[in-house]
A and B are shown apart, each in its own frame.
Chain A
Amino acid sequence: MDRYYAYILLILGVFWLLLSGHYTPLLLSLGGGSVAVVVWFMWRIDRIDGEPFVIHVTLRVIGYSFWLFKEVVKANIDVASRIWDPNMPLAPVWVRLDTTVSTPLEKTTYANSITLTPGTLTTDVEDDHFMVHSLSEEGIEDLRRGEMERRVRKLGI
């Protein structure tokens, strides 16, 4: 747990240094003070909020981001073509999507990935299913094939 706060301290410190760009003693001490205050606030909030979640940025996570970006580009082309089509070929569906992801972090990642992809939108997250709104039946079919879910589970988070 102490390592967790050490990480946060380090990340916030680097974040501050990059944003500031001024390295005089006065500004450095102000920055150090504000980082310390923020970490103290986080420690206080974590006592009430329960376990904090930590995402380790591993090679797998980066690989998943690239795969997700490719999917997002494909979905964007589809939605853009629907927007410019004079007939507007929309067939929106709002259905239950059964899921097998179990940990809260996996659920969050999966639900946010679905929402990030244009054409599909998670409206509700339950224990064993999501409610998903999609612009077309094909979007839902793609999700039901479960490639995204498999990749999220393989992240091991």
Chain B
Amino acid sequence: MAASLEILSWFCFLVGGGLCITGGVGVLRFPDFFTRVHAASVTETLATPLLLIGLMLQLDNWLDLVKALYVLLFVLITGPTAAHALAKGALHHGSKPVLSGDPKLQTGDSESNNREDESSNS
């Protein structure tokens, strides 16, 4: 029983860690703000629960277990609200999402590359 819990916890940590890095790579690679929100939600909706469940399987104090559950529920409930607030703010001030068929999608992260060039020149 204890051994299977240990293996399950290992599995959660490994998959969670992998997804965590995936989300980070996505935030870096995706071409515009709105697509990056989707990449960020990978780290918040699956990587965080998996890592916290992996941790919960290791805890032996039930009070700590409940607290870890609080953290998990809190992150899951507030995640969409924060994402919505960010997206609404971006739209409100005139950022328009890059849509399918836009040439920016093919060249990758052109917008921020330009910005980087600018700042290295100045």
The verdict on A19 contacting chain B, using a C-beta distance below 8 Å, is: yes
In-complex Cβ contact of A135 among B35, B70, B83 (8 A): B35
Q: Smallest CB-CB separation from B41: which chain A residue?
A: A118
List which A87-127 residues lie within 8 A (CB) of chain B. 88, 90-94, 111-112, 115-124
Main SS of the interface on chain B?
helix
The verdict on A18 contacting chain B, using a C-beta distance below 8 Å, is: yes
A118–B42 contact, CB under 8 A? yes
A133–B87 contact, CB under 8 A? yes
CA distance A106 to B83 in the complex (A): 19
The verdict on A83 contacting chain B, using a C-beta distance below 8 Å, is: yes
A90–B42 contact, CB under 8 A? no
Known: A72-B45, A135-B35. 11 other contacts (CB 8 A): A18-B67, A19-B67, A82-B26, A92-B32, A121-B37, A121-B83, A121-B84, A123-B91, A133-B37, A133-B97, A137-B100
Ordered by A's residue number, 18 sampled pairs between the chains whose C-beta atoms are within 8 Å are A72-B45, A79-B42, A80-B42, A82-B26, A88-B29, A92-B32, A92-B34, A93-B99, A94-B97, A111-B80, A116-B79, A116-B80, A117-B41, A118-B39, A118-B45, A118-B46, A121-B34, A123-B87
8 smallest beta-carbon distances between A and B, as pairs: A115-B80, A91-B100, A83-B26, A76-B46, A118-B41, A112-B80, A123-B87, A80-B22
